Chains A and B, each alone.
Chain A
Amino acid sequence: MSTYILSHDIGTTGDKATLFSSEGKLVAKAFSAYPTYYPKAGWAEQDALDYWGAFCAATRELLDSSGCAPGEIAAVSFSGHMMAALPIDRSLEPVRRAIIWADQRASLEASELAERVGPARAYRITGHRLSASYSAAKMLWIRENEPELFDRAAKFVQPKDFLALRLTGRVSTDFSDASGTNLLDLSSWRWSEEILEAAGLRAELLPELLEATDLAGRILAEPARECGLLAGTPVVIGGGDGACATYGAGVAAEGDAYLCLGTSTWIACASGRPLIDPEERTFTFALFRKGLYMPTGTMQAGGGSLQWLKEVFSGGGAPYDALEQEAAATPPGSEGLLFLPYLMGERSPWWNPDARGCFIGLSMVHARRHLLRAVMEGVAYNMRTIADAFAEQGLRFASYRIMGGGSRSAAWRQIFADVLERPVTPLDFAEEATSVGAAIAGGVGVGLFRSLPEACRIVRLGQACEPDEPSLPVYRRRYAAFLSAYRSLVPVFPMLARDEP
């Protein structure tokens, strides 16, 4: 009986392979790392053949450790990091390393393209600002700077797509991943002719568009030998990691929303329409199927701010867990201390690369526990600005699910519940949500699950954390102070950026 779903999450640091039963039970996990290359400041590249190597290694390890026979795998499915430019030639071999999401080299190309399309127009078509982060600008950078390589490129794909084409010989992508390229028209669900024309790019350079639950094909004989799976095993294309995380949070119906507190920190929801914010504070991805959207606000350093503070605290004093207890016992509002969580500049809601992290209002009463609590509160205040931007556009949520490494902190969950003034519910698989989402796509794709909403029932929830009424007035005051502090500093940030090495 073929009853297992093999989910591969192609992350920034490596491939996380997870085996789920058809009931949605997590059976086994394996991880295989690959390097990221940083040839220059602001550049970030990965070798697609490393993806393939990691895929084979993780698959074999998983089969070994679980004792699952290759014949029991009903489907292989993917989640992958998005916004890359990975050119492949006619024989489906990589032309160069993939320029990945973190790479910022294409800022010139992004602004030129924005000038030609019109920034507001591009936002309306793709749901995103035109920026160096997305695939289009990176493709243009290759055309400008490496014309011979560009000429050899037959298609540009995303990391997970490369594995699907390696396995099946068919070049395709799915709507959710395509919505991170700055090239997908979110209303027609086709590649945008308007933007392609403005960019001077041929439509043939882009892969065929599938729904995430569609079959990309079946595993061919040669790749089957390499990875240890059976030839003929169905391969479901899967989705971009954002969309997968959304289904992994069990968010599939309009009005459902969640917070992700990983290295990247965001609020997202499911919606029947793209969210076109006049201030362009948020952006919109596609979900697994045509017609379903994922309005999102991503901050640069949410979980990252806490990681940073731990680093600053390291080397002495109370252990971190004890400190977190103390932070939980510190009064809401951190006795007047504010943190602006802009250690990497900011995307949502400000889109200000010059913004920097600040502790404001420091006095002698403040101890380490106040610094820690202020960081947790500062991230929550910034998320509140994103939630408010959603609300202004008519997307109001009754509650949030919460996932990612940071969601394991009960203190932080309570702070989010209080600052957002909504119940916040953790997931059982807080850190496997993208893998769960990929498994959902795979299971629906091969008919193990009847529908996406039904598949989402495999997502298990923890105990909801309710807003604490008496704390709310304090947080409202401090949130107002947070906004006024940021606005006061806006003119000062660029002066600092000018001085930086």
Chain B
Amino acid sequence: MRDLLCGIDVGTNGVKAMLFDAAGGVKGEGRAEYPTAHPAPGWAEQLPEDWWTALCRATRRMIESSGAEPGRVGGIAVSAQAPTLIALDGDGEPVRPALIWMDRRADREAERVGRSLEAAGLHALTGNRPDSFYVAAKILWLKEREPDRFRRTRRFLQINGYLGYRLSGRFSLDTVHAGLLQLRAWPGGSWIPELMALCGVESGQFPDVSAPHEIVGEVSERASVDCGLEVGTPVLAGTVDGAAAAIEAGAVLPGAAAEMTGTSTVLLMPNAGAATEPSFIAMPHAVPGAYLLLGAMSSTGASLRWFRDELGAEAVASARARGIDPYEALAEEAAASPPGSNGVLFLPYMMGERSPLWNSNARGLFFGMTLGTKRSDLVRSILEGTAYALRHNVEVARTAGVTLSELRSVGGGSRSPLWCQIKADVLGVPVHVPSSAGGAPFGDAVLVSMALGRCPDVPGYLARAVRIARSHLPNPAHRALYDERYRLFRELYEAVRGVFDRSAEAERDGRRQT
């Protein structure tokens, strides 16, 4: 009786393995962590062996905590941080540590990738702008800087593909990860000869591309000993973590976008038209026929955490005394300030900004303070400023043809009703907060269900399985005010971006002098 579904998410910091029943109920869970090495500024490396060890530890804990027989597991799907440069030699051994998504060492190579096609050609052809985030630039770096290792490389994989190989001995590459290589025609087409030539690779060095819910192998005897799953358990191609998280949030059909706010905010915008926009990351969705446009903001929750640590001592003490979350006390403080924060505006670019600005020189700004400005105005301005930045992303997406009629809010930020209400008011769409079903592993489990033929109608299934815990409808009374403040927010950034650029330049000059 293979009635249970196993979803495994391999994130930036660790592995989370979960077991679900057919109705989406959690039956078991296991976690394990691994380190990231930063050998030089901007570099970020992890060891494939660490992923495998962590996965095995997590699946064993998952099985143990469930009390279920491993034989009940109907299939395994792995979602992963993406994209990654994993280069294997002829024996299937990594030629070097993997370069994970946050590794920025290939900036110059990314420019070369961008120049290799006719003007504006890269975005049109691959759906994405040149950036060291994508795999092509990282391969080019390997080719140029570590030619010996490059020559020994037989195969390039993604994390789920590597772990699928460790589980089943079979190589695989899913459609979603394939879209982030920046070597293939968008959407989901063929290898692009000019880029393959530039990077010095051939299509034979990549596994065949499979749909995320395709079964690509089964657990081998050797793997079974390590991971505790039964020999013969089906292994799926799997997907990118953002796509799995979008499924869990119910963001599958066009119009129903999701935002995940933790330290940063990821905006996931499903669409049917394979939309692209240079400000965003375009990739296929994990469910057939759908696509995702993904916006990534840098320091939303991080700005609020900064405020808590530097100016929130009173709220933290009050929260401790009352046994509540410090963020709840901060939200109470913010609620003492009216919409518009009594004139204070905050630009939430404390770590620079990714989508939609892509400006690493940008910084945070509190604007419009008077002698009457209180701490409550400052903290509310952070909640509002991050909502304006979210709206900025949504407006850019609209120009790319992405519709957004409602927003699903997940992650730590969604726990604040005030923040969700501000987002609803600023964006002018309902914000729904689903009860957490377990994050990306739930999305992986849905893929397993599809693979086993138990979920013919994914949107229908999600409509039943994803319960909405809270809904926030836009308050029409605040509409005009927030529209005006949003326009000011945009003007403010345009007015000061030159200051940010010059400060960054002066800082670099200053460092050179000293």
Contact = CB atoms under 8 A, between A and B. Distances in A.
B494 to A, nearest CB: 9
B343 interface: yes
Contact of B496 (A308, A312, A367, A488): A488
B472 to A, nearest CB: 24
Interface stretch (A123-131, A357-365, A399-407, A450-458): A357-365
B144 interface: no
A485 interface: yes
Interface in B383-407: none
The 7 closest A-B pairs by CB, nearest first: A316-B313, A362-B364, A357-B369, A315-B314, A316-B314, A317-B313, A359-B366
Contact of A473 (B345, B498, B499, B513): B513
B371 A492 contact: no
Contact of B370 (A357, A360, A362): A357
A471 to B, nearest CB: 12
Contact of A360 (B306, B365, B510): B365
B374 A312 contact: yes
A484 B502 contact: yes
Interface in A469-501: 473-474, 477, 480-481, 484-485, 488-489, 491-492, 495-496, 499-501
B363 A361 contact: yes
A364 B299 contact: yes
Given A484-B499, A492-B495, A495-B488, A356 B368 contact: yes
B367 A336 contact: no
B462 to A, nearest CB: 36
A301 interface: yes
Interface in A350-399: 356-364, 366-368, 371
Contacts of A501: 342
A371 B351 CA distance: 17
Contacts of A491: 491, 495
Contacts of A485: 496, 499
B270 to A, nearest CB: 32
Interface string B478-507: 000100110010011001101110110011
B366 A496 contact: no
Q: Which of A301, A371, A473, A499 has the most CB of B within 10 A?
A: A499
A49 interface: no
A343 B367 contact: no
A343 B371 contact: yes
11 contacts: A336-B363, A357-B369, A361-B363, A362-B366, A364-B299, A366-B306, A368-B311, A477-B510, A484-B502, A489-B367, A492-B492
Chain A interface size band reads: 35 or more
A189 interface: no
A357 B485 CA distance: 17
Nearest to A337: B363
Contacts of A314: 314
Contact of B367 (A308, A356, A474): A356
Interface centre among A311, A474, A480, A488 (most CB of B within 10 A): A488
B48 interface: no
A304 interface: yes
B378 interface: yes
A358 B366 contact: yes
Interface string B430-474: 000000000000000000000000000000000000000000000
Given A343-B369, A356-B369, A368-B311, A499 B485 contact: yes
A316 B306 CA distance: 15
B491 A492 contact: yes
B340 interface: yes
A371 B488 contact: no
B514 to A, nearest CB: 9
Nearest to A305: B371
Given A360-B365, A491-B495, A367 B310 contact: yes
A343 B342 CA distance: 13
Contacts of B481: 499
A429 interface: no
B375 A312 contact: yes
A301 B343 CA distance: 18
B485 A362 contact: no
A449 interface: no
Contacts, number: 126
Contacts of A366: 306, 310
Nearest to A371: B310
A396 to B, nearest CB: 27
A107 B312 CA distance: 41
A496 B367 CA distance: 9
Contact of A356 (B317, B343, B510): B343
A147 B374 CA distance: 41
Contacts of A368: 310-311
Interface in B287-322: 299, 302, 306, 310-317
A489 B496 contact: yes
A336 B491 contact: no
A40 to B, nearest CB: 17
Contacts of B343: 356, 496, 499-500
A495 B371 contact: no
A344 interface: yes
A361 B503 contact: yes
A499 B313 contact: no
Contacts of A359: 364-366, 369
Given A371-B310, A492-B491, A492-B492, A474 B499 contact: no
B350 interface: yes
A228 to B, nearest CB: 39
B65 interface: no
Nearest to B485: A499
A495 B313 CA distance: 33
A489 B366 CA distance: 12
A34 interface: no
B203 interface: no
Contact of A489 (B306, B342, B495): B495
A313 interface: yes
A492 B299 CA distance: 24
Nearest to B363: A361
A404 to B, nearest CB: 17
Interface string B324-353: 000000000000000010110100001100
A366 B484 CA distance: 30
Nearest to A365: B350
A361 B513 contact: no
A492 B345 CA distance: 12
B116 interface: no
B373 interface: yes
Contacts of A316: 312-317
A477 B481 CA distance: 38
Nearest to A490: B495
Given A315-B314, A356-B367, A363-B364, A343 B340 contact: no
A361 B366 CA distance: 9
Contacts of B365: 358-362
A358 B499 contact: no
A374 to B, nearest CB: 11
A367 B311 CA distance: 9
Contacts of B499: 360-361, 481, 484-485, 488
Contacts of A473: 510, 513
Nearest to B370: A343
Most buried by A among B498, B503, B510: B503
A363 B375 CA distance: 18
B485 A481 contact: no
Nearest to A311: B374
Contacts of A474: 510
Contacts of B507: 336
B369 A358 contact: yes
Interface string A308-332: 1001111111000000000000000
A316 B310 CA distance: 10
B367 A364 contact: no
Given A344-B371, A495-B488, A312 B378 contact: yes
Nearest to B364: A362
B351 A364 contact: yes
